[in-house]
């Protein structure tokens, strides 16, 4: 669960805040 959360943060950072734009 913790690793999945870290992965989500990494993906979000890599996409330059893609999820924030949604």
How far apart, in whole angstroms, are the C-alpha atoms of residue 1 and residue 21?
25
What's residue 18's pLDDT? 63
1-22 tens-digit pLDDT = 688 888 888 887 777 766 666 6
DSSP per-residue string spanning 1-22: -HHHHHHHHHHHHHTTSHHHH-
Task: Decide: pTM greater than 0.75.
Answer: no
Q: Are 19 and 12 in contact (CB under 8 A)?
A: yes
Q: Are 13 and 7 in contact (CB under 8 A)?
A: no
What's residue 4's pLDDT? 85
What's residue 22's pLDDT? 62
What's residue 15's pLDDT? 72
Residues for the chain: how many in total? 22
């Amino acid at each position: 669960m913790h690793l999945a959360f870290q992965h989500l943060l990494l993906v979000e950072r890599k996409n330059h805040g893609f999820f924030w734009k949604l």
